[in-house]
């Protein structure tokens, strides 16, 4: 399909058309996967760890010089405020650097076969080898760094990649793949297909794809799993991440983190603070500090440096969050900070006395909303945190070691971050969750392991 007939990409802030991308047909997907498979055999397997590391560092060097152009493009097509887009590019560069380092560290192990009464005189050499073609399906909210988390470890491990970015933010990914080719990454090893769910399903069902690495919603992940068949699946499916404010917490720092991580990117990130659980004795004091911070946020054009909150990705997304807030209010919640939606621009919302069965807190509300939930003690806190299908990350403010240990043991989350929020992430660390938050782990070191498999030689 031509660009004229494809996806029109518009600014979430003012609706301006930014460009168009063609939609890949099933035949286009087949061609991309076939080319990637051929390149994997003919080119990828011939690259040494040093070659792969140098290849990724060449991409790092080039992106370092173009980071501002990429940041402007991210802001234009996602509505993310410009300082956050610049921060995303900094993270993407670190992700690349970590992957370039890991390309040289992939190693196996040696195991003795003489571990039973039978003397074999043999030894097993276990190698880690690339899996083949990786289908990388990414969302809109971090269009460069989330793609980098799939692309860079896959190339570091010696795989080929077929990328399928979100139709809501396809231009950043298109430019990234173009730069990959410009810096000398063999064209066949990195392919791009654009489109919606039909393109995704054609990619994940293709027999030439060995791994699906997906970031998105639970519903989409379950649909992909039904179509993928017997493939390696790496899935990050979101979170309903709590920030827990214990009775000895630093309230000023807790309020700062709640605002930064709950309302940054308009709350449209899997690790955003989506629930604030506050010890009942602190609720009033905490709310006062939080409300003051939220009311001082500057909302508007995301391209302006002083703006801290821009539009959501679409009008439909903003309407969905607006509906969830209204539902919570009808159930008895109290609006502490609010405001009227203007198109995709939804002012930050803070709600108190939110019923624990409201969809706003049971489900993942992907928007600029901070619901405050009081808790009484450890058991009450654990019960409220775990009362969701998700289990990605959690943040905790306390100085009490025993509380840290108890919550780490009892919360159904992949990571507990102390005296920080659930949005804290270093891109080399394991990243993933429990329950329906996903399968496997990302983070460059873990991703390289997921994207390789063991092959044993016994002699």
As beta bridge partners, residue 211 has 134, 232
- For residue 71, what are the contacts with CB-CB under 8 A and spacing of at least 6? 82, 85, 86, 88, 89
Give bridge partners of residue 164 from the DSSP assignment: 137
* Dist. CA 120–CA 135, nearest whole Å: 42
Q: Which phi and psi angles does 364 have, rounded to 5°?
A: -85, 105
Within 8 A by CB and 6+ apart from 409, the residues are none
The DSSP secondary structure of 301-334, one letter per residue, reads -TTSTT--B---S-HHHHHHHHHHHHHHHHTT-E
Is residue 236 annotated as part of the catalytic site, yes or no?
A: yes
Which residue is catalytic, options 77, 102, 266, 270? Answer: 270
Question: Using CA atoms in the order 90, 144, 390, 196, what is the torsion angle rounded to 10 degrees?
Answer: 170
Contact 301, 74 (CB under 8 A): no
- Residue 34 tokens read as 């076939």
d(CA 28, CA 326): 44
Tell me how far apart the alpha carbons of residues 153 and 177 are, in angstroms, rounded to a whole number. 15
Label the pairing between strands 160-164 and 133-137. parallel
- Please give the DSSP secondary-structure letter assigned to residue 157: T
Catalytic residue, from 236, 308, 364, 442: name it.
Answer: 236
Cα distance between the two ends of the chain: 54
DSSP summary character for residue 13: T
Which helix (H) or strand (E) segment is 56 a member of? helix 49-78
In the structure encoding, which two tokens stand for residue 71, read together?
A: 């940041």
Q: 49-87 as b/e, with b when 16 or more CB fall inside 10 Å?
A: beebbbbbbbbbeebeeebeebbebbbbbbbbbbbbbbb
Number of neighbouring beta carbons within 10 Å of residue 37: 21
Residues with a known catalytic role: 236, 270
């Amino acid at each position: 399909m031509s660009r004229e007939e494809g996806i029109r990409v518009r600014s979430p802030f003012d609706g301006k058309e930014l460009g168009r991308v063609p939609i890949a047909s099933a035949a286009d997907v087949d061609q991309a996967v076939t080319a990637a498979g051929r390149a994997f055999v003919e080119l990828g397997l011939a690259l040494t760890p040093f070659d792969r590391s140098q290849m990724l560092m060449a991409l790092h060097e080039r992106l370092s010089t173009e980071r501002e152009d990429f940041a402007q493009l991210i802001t234009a097509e996602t509505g993310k405020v410009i300082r956050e887009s610049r921060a995303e590019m900094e993270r993407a560069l670190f992700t690349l650097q970590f992957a370039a380092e890991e390309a040289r560290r992939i190693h196996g192990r040696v195991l003795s076969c003489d571990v039973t009464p039978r003397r074999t005189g043999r030894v097993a050499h276990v190698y880690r080898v690339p899996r083949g073609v990786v289908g990388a399906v990414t969302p809109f909210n971090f269009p460069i760094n989330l793609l980098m988390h799939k692309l860079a470890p896959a190339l570091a491990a010696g795989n080929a990649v077929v990328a399928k970015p979100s139709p809501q933010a396809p231009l950043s990914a298109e430019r990234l793949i173009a730069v990959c080719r410009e810096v000398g990454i063999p064209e066949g090893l990195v392919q791009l297909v654009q489109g919606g769910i039909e393109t995704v399903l054609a990619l994940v069902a293709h027999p030439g794809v060995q791994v699906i690495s997906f970031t998105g919603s639970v519903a989409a992940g379950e649909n992909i799993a039904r179509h993928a068949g017997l493939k390696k699946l790496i899935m990050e499916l979101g979170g309903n991440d709590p920030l827990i404010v214990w009775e000895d917490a630093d309230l000023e720092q807790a309020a700062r983190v709640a605002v930064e991580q709950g309302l940054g990117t308009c709350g449209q990130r899997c690790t955003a603070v989506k629930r604030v659980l506050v010890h009942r004795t602190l609720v009033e004091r905490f709310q006062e500090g939080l409300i003051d911070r939220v009311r001082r946020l500057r909302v508007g054009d995301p391209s302006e440096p002083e703006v801290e909150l821009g539009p959501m990705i679409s009008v439909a997304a903003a309407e969905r969050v607006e509906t969830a807030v209204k539902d919570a209010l009808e159930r008895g919640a109290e609006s502490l900070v609010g405001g009227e939606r203007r198109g995709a621009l939804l002012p930050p919302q803070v709600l108190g006395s939110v019923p624990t069965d409201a969809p706003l807190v049971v489900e993942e509300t992907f928007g600029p909303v901070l619901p405050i939930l009081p808790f009484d003690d450890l058991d009450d806190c654990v019960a409220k945190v775990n009362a969701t299908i998700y289990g990605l990350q959690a943040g905790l403010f306390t100085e009490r070691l025993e509380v840290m240990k108890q919550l780490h043991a009892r919360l159904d989350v992949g990571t507990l971050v102390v005296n920080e929020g659930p949005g804290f992430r270093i891109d080399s660390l394991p990243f993933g969750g429990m329950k329906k938050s996903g399968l496997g782990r990302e983070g460059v070191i873990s991703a390289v392991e997921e994207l390789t498999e063991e092959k044993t030689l016994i002699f």
